[in-house]
Amino acid sequence: MNTADLLVQCLENEGVKYIFGLPGEENLHVLEAIRNSSIQFITVRHEQGAAFMADVYGRLTGHAGVCLSTLGPGATNLMTGVADANLDRAPLVAITGQVGTDRMHKESHQYLDLVAMFSSVTKWNAQIVRPSIAPEVVRKAFKLAQSEKPGAVHIDVPENIAAMEVTGEPLSKGDLEKTFASFRSIKHASEVISEAKNPLILVGNGAIRANASTSVTEFATRLNIPVANTFMGKGLIPYTHPLALWSVGLQQRDYISCGFDHADLVIAIGYDLIEYSPKKWNPDGKIPIVHINATHAEIDSSYIPEVEVVGDISDSLEEILERADRTGKPDTYALQLRDDIRADYERYANDNDFPIKPQKLIYDLRQVMGAEDIVISDVGAHKMWMARHYHCDRPNTCIISNGFAAMGIAIPGAIAAKLVHPDKKIVAVTGDGGFMMNCQELETALRVGTAFVTIIFNDGGYGLIEWKQQNQLGRSSFIKFSNPDFVKFAESMGLKGYRIESTADFIPTLKTALEQDVPVVIDCPVDYRENLRFTQKAGALNCEI
């Protein structure tokens, strides 16, 4: 047995089902070991796609997704997806091939110090410098990747080390015990919540990672406190719930901004500051905060909690519920916003203008998708509309890259989502810019049998940047481009392609697309004049009681 064999045995011991990657000269021994294992290797068309697949796999399952590249350019191509996983708190293990240790002290073909390079985009990374340490390195990698706050780790495997003979076996996996908040913090939080007149709950990705949806919903319901979610906290409370105020996180003001303006307490549950800066909703740091999370609060002048309840989120909420009393407290101001929020959403239900308004496109998408189905949003102007208008009944049914906000994630992410949930409808929502960054992975999707639908918001440019330019400068530049015929592009790859010619076409086309047994591309012209209209409307928003 060589080191590569032992490495792959350790991966099997960790429960790895898939490795996403590209073959190369310096990872030949690892690939041969994978070939003889129970793990399915999924060959991708670009290493960035492999990392995005591992990223979304980790986010959906809670188990680290694994991606593999060779050294040099293969490793640098991997980095964007690794960084995305790290900032979006998705567990991921990246493995890179490397030159032999006998070449590292001098100039050498394709050699880069990958441990140094990956240090800024991972929780931890290491090189296997001798065969015997492989089990320790792998066990530590998975433990750190999957422990709160989860993220990316990196293992570098020199080719001569991979080929060396070794004896050893995988290390056993110990269970991670839950930690529980102190009685003092529970008591203090209960008192503060009981006294508040206009409290508001802000829920984030940490509560999804903790599987705390049921606890959050019960907590809000019994205490009659409205709930806003971050982009990455969608579905923690069903969007149909009478206390759900939907998403916060746009850089522009929105209806929910008024709720924060009038709040005398924000109860932040599983909220990571990277999801939406507290300077946007608490610029002066004057709103009292109760921080309920598995980890202590980050330091920020706009986020200084009055009390930190640090421990298992569901247990903390249950303990607070036993002690908090809001009997006789009237509905908060924030609940008065719900009618306005819903009316704004519903006003696009019968809009038949073409090109389609983004609000209408997303409204119709929501009508077709089931509560358990999954959409993966790419990054661009459409992401802002998806975040605001695509509402969820369940956690992890709308995946948005937000911490790193990396374009190109939707198609690779949809492949991973379909592998995890083959029985669910999966839709990748992307702009034409993001589509062209990783559209080559549609061949991967066809080859591995992951049939999903890609909807292209087609405006012939980088719409989000144009939105920013027009808003700040009153003009735009360098953002327009031409596109291929997306229908013919899809057909050339053995997929199916459709082009939307009228707003009424969209729902029947989407339903047909979701019934296909191959990946499908839907080219949909979109009217992004709505971007500036929204900015103007938000600027005129009146938050008076």
List pLDDT tens digits, range 163-196.
999 999 999 988 778 899 999 999 999 999 999 9
The arithmetic mean of pLDDT across residues 33-43, rounded, is 97
Same domain, 384 and 500: yes
Domain that holds residue 221: 183-335
In a domain, 545, yes or no: no
335-379 pLDDT, tens digit each: 888 888 898 899 999 999 999 999 999 999 999 999 999 999 999
Same domain, 374 and 477: yes
Same domain, 325 and 448: no
DSSP assignments along 291-356, one per residue: EEESSPPPPBTTB--SEEEES-HHHHHHHHHHH---TTPPPPGGGGGHHHHHHHHHTTTT---SSB
Query: Are the C-beta atoms of residues 368 and 394 closer than 8 Å to each other?
Result: no
Q: Is the pLDDT of residue 160 over 80?
A: yes
Band the pLDDT of 544: cuts 50, 70, 90: low
Same domain, 106 and 206: no
Q: What is the pLDDT of residue 130?
A: 96
96-141 pLDDT, tens digit each: 999 888 887 877 888 899 999 999 999 999 999 999 999 999 999 9
- Which residue type is seen at 410? A
Q: Give me the percent of the chain exceeding a pLDDT of 70.
A: 99
Q: What is the pLDDT of residue 179?
A: 92
Q: What is the pLDDT of residue 542?
A: 64
55-83 pLDDT, tens digit each: 999 999 999 999 999 999 999 999 999 99
449-486 pLDDT, tens digit each: 999 999 999 999 998 898 889 888 999 999 999 999 99
CA distance 38 to 192: 53
CA distance 461 to 329: 50
Same domain, 324 and 406: no
Q: What is the pLDDT of residue 271?
A: 97
Residue whose structure tokens are 């009424």: 504
Q: For residue 504, which of 360, 352, 380 has the smallest C-alpha distance?
A: 352
Q: Is the pLDDT of residue 545 over 60?
A: no
Q: What is the CATH number of the domain that holds 524?
A: 3.40.50.970
Q: Which of 308, 335, 362 is the last residue of a domain?
A: 335
Same domain, 101 and 158: yes
Same domain, 310 and 355: no
Same domain, 49 and 115: yes
Q: What is the pLDDT of residue 270?
A: 98
Q: Could you tell me the pTM of the whole model?
A: 0.95
Return the bridge partners of 457, or none. 431, 524
Q: Which of 335, 367, 390 is the last residue of a domain?
A: 335
In a domain, 544, yes or no: no
Q: What is the pLDDT of residue 491?
A: 98
Same domain, 219 and 189: yes
In a domain, 309, yes or no: yes
Same domain, 256 and 363: no
Query: Are the C-beta atoms of residues 28 and 8 closer than 8 Å to each other?
Result: no
Q: What is the pLDDT of residue 369?
A: 98
193-233 pLDDT, tens digit each: 999 999 999 999 999 999 999 999 999 999 999 999 999 99
Phi, psi of 379 (to 5 degrees): -110, 135
Q: What is the pLDDT of residue 537?
A: 74
Q: What is the pLDDT of residue 500?
A: 98
Band the pLDDT of 250: cuts 50, 70, 90: confident
CA distance 36 to 433: 39
The arithmetic mean of pLDDT across residues 528-542, rounded, is 76
Q: What is the pLDDT of residue 403?
A: 87
297-329 pLDDT, tens digit each: 999 999 999 999 999 999 999 999 999 999 888
Domain total in the chain: 3
Is the alpha carbon torsion for 272, 278, 279, 285 positive or negative?
A: negative
Is the alpha carbon torsion for 277, 280, 286, 287 positive or negative?
A: negative
Task: Give the mean pLDDT of the chain.
Answer: 94
110-120 pLDDT, tens digit each: 889 999 999 99
CA 247 to chain centre: 15
Q: Which of 163, 198, 233 is the last residue of a domain?
A: 163
Q: What is the pLDDT of residue 164?
A: 96
Q: What is the CATH number of the domain that holds 231?
A: 3.40.50.1220
Same domain, 316 and 439: no
Q: What is the pLDDT of residue 256?
A: 85
Q: What is the pLDDT of residue 540?
A: 60
Q: Is the pLDDT of residue 536 over 90?
A: no
Same domain, 156 and 229: no
SS3 content of the chain, % helix, strand, coil (to 5): 45, 15, 40
Q: Give me the percent of the chain exceeding a pLDDT of 90.
A: 85
Q: For residue 431, which of 422, 439, 443, 440 has the smallest C-alpha distance?
A: 439
Q: What is the pLDDT of residue 539?
A: 60
In a domain, 542, yes or no: no
